[in-house]
């Protein structure tokens, strides 16, 4: 693993932390005061800052720092996270996300916006804090209490000192000043895992050192506390590294010892003073940590150890001990590896659910192969059936099991690509905040069913249409606070985004409690735009669905937000491109509900296999309402080529699929075929006329675009059990074409990307 990979991990983690941050802030916004929520929010920012610091992402670090400082005020109850505070924090979370993206992908962020937010955050932090300790945008070492020496940026760099340096420096040492150091450790120093020996070791590396150990405080053996500090030391140290370096040796211990450092006049390196000073020899190599480095060094270390042991081995007990130590080594090594393995296992087990990260390409390759397997299995079954004269052979039973298994494998593989809609939903709350700000409306976004899972491709492609719809809902759907109050509503509007599974599809609902569709206005607009005749008799539902027509916009003025020429027609097209449907239902004064129904996967499809002009076609089952056998009496013709079929007292246009796809030049006789009643655009029903139904089956979708080119009226292709290629019908495009619109490439919609 190199730094770039870790950086990639960092950005992945940032995404998770940002999601955590936002959902935490939203919980706080809803009145959640659980300290763990505040902690989680704090940790998220803290963690981003930590990682960013390691990669030198200064913009990110400094913003995260200010943010963190303000969050710390909330954490320590110095700042009440009211709505105003959270508004700033949510915006800050957005900026943090922008900065993270800019750090990853390059590009710039809105500097003015982040500067403004830094000011606001600092104001929040300092509002409750007269000292304004938090208002420091760049982070410097906070002033340490007591007489702690200011540690420079390099930290304890000066301590680093090798003995080679020492020898080289030796002539200069004569001129080096001499320090008198009195070091009296407290018992706490040892209790915290420190040791006087280590500190003295580091001190000895600074220069030439003489030492006197003061044992006067030692009680008798039976009265001593073996864990109490009794020894203290007086040290003479000749060093040119300065007092700073000496103090930094004791940096970790300064609270747990008494330390006096004084520049001495003359150096008492010689043991001729009142106190017997022991010169400390240079060669302390045994005390050096095994220079944590190459295996070679370690080996040297080990062999030196062994040599020492051998030279000392005068007696049998020593030999025995040596033998013991050498047998201990492999045993320990083994124990270490098992310990590490079980630690790793435990680490994995302790996470909520263990996960692995897999390259998406690999999953897709697998999905493709499983698709081939399913096709192959179907072909095999078919040829066995065709060649099997005995009827019930054991091969048939085996094949049935194989079919079961392939189906299960397929489902499991599809589940790998399934992901919760949560990230998309979370992105929407930012959209709501931004548009609420721009329109001056007060909006609350409520999300439900965030953990509903759907294919990753669907999720990825959902964000854009959903963004348009949310903007639309806030901009056009919700009223201004004044109007809402006047209408007896809460000044704050609610947009509710829900996801759920329903009969093998995912249904996403976007509901607002706004004014609802102004049907009069929509109708008038449609008439003005020649979308409908002035005297057209349309149901409420049909009027509502007019907003999905291209270029339709009812806003009086084209607002900056939803009026960029991007209308609901684009939304509808994106949803359809995913093999989905979208509907609207609206109640004046109470709001509108957009309902999207999408397939869970784009890789397979339940279809009805039909014959049209000797061609085999697949019609997505989700589009079919019912099938019926037309009777001559039910067919009514009007105009040159239009025909209607009457179904239970209502008329439904008959669509000749073979004609529209140019499979034949003349109209087929409806009585000889089958009618598939389909629901399409705008909720209207059409009867698709086909020659015959072959059956229903799940088919593996093969993109035509990827393998050939886009064909109007055709969504994709598949391979049937008998090895033939069958085209999958794009029902909406066919229906649109039947309305007189020709099948133009840009009009037809592929169901599979």
Partner 1 sequence: MASKKTAQKTLRLAPVLDLNEATALHEKLLALKGSAVAIDASAVERIGALCVQVLIAGARNWEEQQLSFTFAKVSDAFVKTTQLIGVDIDPLMAKEI
Partner 2 sequence: MKKRVLTVDDSRTIRNMLLVTLNNAGFETIQAEDGVEGLEVLEEANPDVIVTDINMPRLDGFGFIEGVRKNDRYRAVPILVLTTESDAEKKNRARQAGATGWIVKPFDPTKLIDAIERVTA
Q: Which residues bind partner 1 (CB under 8 A)?
A: 185, 190-191, 193, 195-197, 200-201, 204, 211-213, 215, 218-222, 224, 226-227, 229-231, 233, 277-278, 280-281, 283-284, 286-287, 308-309, 312, 314, 317-318, 321, 325
Tell me which of partner 2, partner 1, none is bound by residue 43, counting a contact when its beta carbon lies within the kind-specific cut-off of 5 to 8 angstroms: partner 2
**739 burial via Cβ count (<10 Å: 0-12, 13-18, 19+):** exposed
Tell me which of partner 1, partner 2, none is bound by residue 312, counting a contact when its beta carbon lies within the kind-specific cut-off of 5 to 8 angstroms: partner 1
Least distance to partner 1 from the beta carbon of 169, Å? Answer: 20
Least distance to partner 1 from the beta carbon of 277, Å? Answer: 8
Least distance to partner 2 from the beta carbon of 647, Å? Answer: 59
Question: Tokens in use for 519?
Answer: 């049907």
DSSP-derived 3-state class of residue 234: strand
Based on CB atoms, which residue is closest to partner 1, 228 or 558?
A: 228
Contact 501, 603 (CB under 8 A): no
Based on CB atoms, which residue is closest to partner 1, 66 or 229?
A: 229
Please name the residues in contact with 668: beta carbons below 8 A apart, sequence gap of 6 or more. 613, 656, 658, 659, 689, 691
Residue identified by tokens 């030196």 is 304
Least distance to partner 1 from the beta carbon of 293, Å? Answer: 19
Based on CB atoms, which residue is closest to partner 1, 153 or 274?
A: 274
Contact 660, 671 (CB under 8 A): no
Least distance to partner 1 from the beta carbon of 322, Å? Answer: 10
Question: Tokens in use for 647?
Answer: 């179904």
**567 burial via Cβ count (<10 Å: 0-12, 13-18, 19+):** buried
- The partner residues of 462 in beta bridges, in order of sequence, read none
Tell me which of partner 1, partner 2, none is bound by residue 425, counting a contact when its beta carbon lies within the kind-specific cut-off of 5 to 8 angstroms: none
DSSP-derived 3-state class of residue 355: coil
Least distance to partner 1 from the beta carbon of 182, Å? Answer: 13
Tell me which of partner 1, partner 2, none is bound by residue 212, counting a contact when its beta carbon lies within the kind-specific cut-off of 5 to 8 angstroms: partner 1
Based on CB atoms, which residue is closest to partner 1, 304 or 636?
A: 304
Based on CB atoms, which residue is closest to partner 1, 278 or 490?
A: 278
Least distance to partner 2 from the beta carbon of 324, Å? Answer: 16
Tell me which of partner 2, partner 1, none is bound by residue 388, counting a contact when its beta carbon lies within the kind-specific cut-off of 5 to 8 angstroms: none
Least distance to partner 1 from the beta carbon of 343, Å? Answer: 21
Least distance to partner 2 from the beta carbon of 679, Å? Answer: 47
**68 burial via Cβ count (<10 Å: 0-12, 13-18, 19+):** buried
- Distance in angstroms (rounded) separating the CA atoms of residues 684 and 531: 16
Tell me which of partner 1, partner 2, none is bound by residue 739, counting a contact when its beta carbon lies within the kind-specific cut-off of 5 to 8 angstroms: none
How is 640-653 classified by DSSP, letter by letter?
TTEEEEEETTEEEE
By DSSP bridging, strand 714-719 and strand 178-185 are unpaired
Q: What are phi and psi of 440, to 5 degrees?
A: 70, 25
By DSSP bridging, strand 493-502 and strand 453-455 are unpaired
Question: Tokens in use for 470?
Answer: 């949310």
Based on CB atoms, which residue is closest to partner 1, 49 or 212?
A: 212
- H runs (alpha helix) in 388-474: 394-417, 422-439, 456-472
Based on CB atoms, which residue is closest to partner 1, 283 or 556?
A: 283
What is the CB-side half-sphere exposure of residue 742 using CA atoms within 13 A? Answer: 3
Based on CB atoms, which residue is closest to partner 2, 244 or 626?
A: 244
- Distance in angstroms (rounded) separating the CA atoms of residues 593 and 585: 5
Question: Tokens in use for 463?
Answer: 């964000």
Q: What are phi and psi of 506, to 5 degrees?
A: -105, 135
Residue identified by tokens 């007292």 is 649
Tell me which of partner 1, partner 2, none is bound by residue 278, counting a contact when its beta carbon lies within the kind-specific cut-off of 5 to 8 angstroms: partner 1
Tell me which of partner 1, partner 2, none is bound by residue 230, counting a contact when its beta carbon lies within the kind-specific cut-off of 5 to 8 angstroms: partner 1
Based on CB atoms, which residue is closest to partner 1, 129 or 309?
A: 309
Based on CB atoms, which residue is closest to partner 2, 316 or 349?
A: 349
Tell me which of partner 2, partner 1, none is bound by residue 321, counting a contact when its beta carbon lies within the kind-specific cut-off of 5 to 8 angstroms: partner 1
Least distance to partner 1 from the beta carbon of 5, Å? Answer: 37
Tell me which of partner 2, partner 1, none is bound by residue 294, counting a contact when its beta carbon lies within the kind-specific cut-off of 5 to 8 angstroms: partner 2
Please name the residues in contact with 320: beta carbons below 8 A apart, sequence gap of 6 or more. none
Contact 443, 493 (CB under 8 A): yes
Tell me which of partner 2, partner 1, none is bound by residue 533, counting a contact when its beta carbon lies within the kind-specific cut-off of 5 to 8 angstroms: none
Tell me how far apart the terminal alpha carbons of the chain are, to the nearest angstrom: 35
Tell me which of partner 2, partner 1, none is bound by residue 61, counting a contact when its beta carbon lies within the kind-specific cut-off of 5 to 8 angstroms: partner 2
- Distance in angstroms (rounded) separating the CA atoms of residues 243 and 188: 24
Based on CB atoms, which residue is closest to partner 1, 12 or 278?
A: 278
Based on CB atoms, which residue is closest to partner 2, 52 or 582?
A: 52
Q: Which spans of this chain sit near partner 2 (rule: CB under 8 A)?
A: 1-3, 5-6, 9-10, 12-13, 36, 39-40, 42-43, 46-47, 49-51, 53-54, 56, 61, 139-145, 151, 155-157, 159-160, 191-195, 197-198, 201-202, 251-252, 255-256, 287, 289-290, 292-295, 298, 301-302, 336, 339-340, 342-343, 346-347, 350-351
Query: Could you tell me how far CA 405 lies from the centroid of its own chain?
Result: 33
Tell me which of partner 1, partner 2, none is bound by residue 112, counting a contact when its beta carbon lies within the kind-specific cut-off of 5 to 8 angstroms: none
The sheet that has 208-214: what strands, in order across it?
A: 257-264, 178-185, 232-238, 208-214, 278-279
| Strand ranges inside 117-256, DSSP E | 178-185, 208-214, 232-238
Based on CB atoms, which residue is closest to partner 1, 115 or 335?
A: 335
Tell me which of partner 1, partner 2, none is bound by residue 211, counting a contact when its beta carbon lies within the kind-specific cut-off of 5 to 8 angstroms: partner 1
- Polymer length of the chain: 753
Q: Which helix (H) or strand (E) holds 725?
A: strand 725-729
Least distance to partner 2 from the beta carbon of 34, Å? Answer: 13
Least distance to partner 2 from the beta carbon of 244, Å? Answer: 15
Based on CB atoms, which residue is closest to partner 1, 135 or 322?
A: 322
By DSSP bridging, strand 692-700 and strand 604-612 are antiparallel
Least distance to partner 2 from the beta carbon of 296, Å? Answer: 11
Least distance to partner 1 from the beta carbon of 216, Å? Answer: 12
Contact 595, 684 (CB under 8 A): no
- Distance in angstroms (rounded) separating the CA atoms of residues 561 and 549: 19
């Amino acid at each position: 693993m190199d730094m770039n990979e870790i950086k990639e991990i960092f950005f992945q983690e940032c995404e998770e932390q940002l999601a955590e941050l936002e959902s935490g802030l939203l919980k706080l916004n809803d009145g959640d005061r659980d300290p763990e929520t505040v902690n989680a929010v704090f940790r998220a920012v803290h963690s981003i800052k930590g990682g960013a610091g390691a990669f030198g992402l200064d913009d990110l670090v400094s913003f995260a720092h200010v943010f963190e400082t303000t969050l710390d005020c909330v954490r320590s109850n110095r700042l009440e996270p009211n709505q105003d505070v959270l508004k700033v924090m949510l915006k800050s979370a957005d900026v943090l996300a922008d900065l993270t993206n800019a750090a990853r992908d390059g590009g710039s962020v809105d500097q003015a916006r982040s500067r403004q937010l830094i000011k606001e955050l600092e104001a929040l932090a300092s509002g409750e804090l007269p000292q304004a300790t938090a208002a420091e945008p760049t982070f410097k070492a906070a002033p340490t209490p007591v007489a702690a020496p200011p540690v420079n940026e390099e930290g304890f760099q000066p301590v680093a000192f090798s003995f080679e340096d020492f020898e080289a420096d030796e002539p200069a040492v004569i001129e080096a000043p001499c320090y008198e150091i009195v070091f009296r450790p407290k018992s706490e120093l040892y209790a915290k895992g420190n040791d006087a020996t280590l500190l003295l070791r580091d001190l000895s590396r600074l220069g030439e050192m003489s030492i006197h150990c003061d044992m006067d405080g030692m009680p008798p053996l039976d009265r001593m506390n073996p864990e109490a500090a009794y020894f203290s030391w007086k040290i003479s140290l000749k060093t040119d590294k300065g007092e700073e370096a000496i103090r930094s040796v004791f940096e970790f211990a300064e609270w747990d010892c008494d330390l006096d450092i004084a520049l001495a006049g003359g150096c008492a390196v010689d043991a001729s003073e009142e106190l017997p000073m022991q010169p400390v020899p240079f060669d302390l190599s045994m005390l050096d940590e095994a220079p944590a480095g190459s295996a070679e060094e370690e080996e040297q270390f080990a062999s030196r150890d062994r040599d020492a042991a051998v030279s000392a081995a005068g007696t049998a007990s020593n030999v025995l001990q040596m033998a013991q130590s050498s047998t201990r080594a492999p045993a320990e090594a083994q124990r270490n590896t098992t310990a590490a393995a079980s630690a790793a296992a435990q680490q994995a087990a302790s996470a909520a659910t263990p996960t692995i990260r897999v390259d998406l390409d690999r999953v897709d390759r697998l999905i493709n192969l499983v698709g081939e397997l399913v096709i192959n299995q179907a072909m095999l079954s078919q040829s066995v059936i065709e060649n099997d004269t005995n009827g019930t052979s054991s091969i048939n039973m085996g094949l049935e099991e194989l079919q079961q298994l392939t189906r299960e494998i397929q489902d499991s593989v599809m589940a790998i690509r399934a992901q919760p809609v949560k990230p998309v939903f979370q992105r929407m709350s930012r959209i709501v905040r931004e548009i609420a700000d721009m329109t001056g409306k007060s909006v609350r976004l409520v999300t439900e069913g965030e953990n509903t899972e759907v294919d990753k491709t669907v999720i990825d492609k959902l964000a854009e249409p959903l963004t348009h719809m949310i903007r639309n809902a806030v901009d056009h759907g919700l009223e201004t606070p004044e109007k809402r109050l006047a209408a007896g509503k809460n000044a704050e509007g609610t947009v509710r985004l829900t996801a759920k599974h329903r009969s093998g599809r995912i249904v996403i609902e976007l509901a607002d409690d706004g004014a609802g569709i102004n049907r009069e206005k929509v109708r008038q607009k449609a008439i003005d735009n020649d979308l409908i005749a002035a005297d057209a008799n349309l149901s409420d539902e049909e009027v509502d669905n007019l907003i999905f027509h291209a270029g339709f916009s009812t806003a009086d003025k084209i607002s900056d937000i939803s009026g960029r020429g991007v209308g609901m027609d684009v939304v509808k097209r994106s949803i359809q491109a995913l093999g989905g449907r979208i509907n609207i239902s609206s109640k004046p004064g109470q709001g509108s509900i957009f309902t999207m129904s999408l397939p869970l996967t784009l890789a397979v499809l339940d279809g009805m296999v039909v014959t049209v002009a000797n061609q085999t076609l697949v019609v997505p089952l989700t589009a079919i309402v019912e099938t019926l056998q037309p009777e001559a009496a039910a067919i009514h013709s009007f105009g040159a080529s239009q025909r209607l079929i009457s179904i239970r007292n209502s008329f439904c246009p008959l669509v000749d699929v073979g004609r529209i796809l140019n499979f034949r030049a003349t109209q087929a006789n409806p009585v000889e075929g089958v009618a598939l009643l389909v629901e399409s655009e705008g909720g209207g029903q059409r009867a698709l006329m086909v020659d015959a139904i072959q059956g229903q089956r799940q088919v593996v979708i093969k993109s035509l675009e990827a393998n050939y080119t886009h064909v109007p009226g055709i969504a994709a292709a598949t391979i049937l059990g008998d090895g033939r290629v069958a085209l999958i019908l794009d029902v909406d495009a066919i229906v649109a074409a039947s309305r007189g619109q020709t099948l133009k490439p840009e009009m037809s919609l592929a169901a599979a990307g």
